[in-house]
Amino acid sequence: MFPLPVVAIVAGIVFAFRRSSLSLVCFGYPLTFGMLSALIGCVEIDDYVRTTAFAISVVIGMVGVGLMTTGLWKALGARTELIAEQAVDGNPH
């Protein structure tokens, strides 16, 4: 069985070839584990917040969150624009 980040990266590649903004979500998902790593480090290691490893983990996690946010914004934004166009044209589907 494949780990979930590997599946997300493969799905990201597939979506990238289809030129879908969901590829950003798939590529961003594995990077969000940086935030999880930073959280675990804060809980288990004293003064972890003052280390370079913490800063790197937070930056990697924020890049992942940014990619996911951008991908969802574009994917859902395109859908709402399509619905708005159909409403103007009088076509409910």
Residue 28 CB coordination number (10 Å): 22
pLDDT of residue 73: 86
Domain extent listing, the chain: 4-89
pLDDT of residue 9: 86
Mean pLDDT by 10 residues, the chain (93 residues): 79 87 86 88 88 91 90 78 66 57
Q: What is the C-alpha to C-alpha distance for residues 14 and 21, in angstroms, rounded to an integer?
A: 11
Q: What is the C-alpha to C-alpha distance for residues 73 and 50, in angstroms, rounded to an integer?
A: 33
Residue 87, CA distances (Å) to 52, 78, 79, 83, 91 in order: 52, 14, 12, 6, 6
pLDDT of residue 63: 92
Q: Which residue has the tokens 């990077």?
A: 31
pLDDT of residue 83: 67
Residue 93 is classified by DSSP as -
Residue 84 corresponds to which tokens in the numbers above? 């708005």
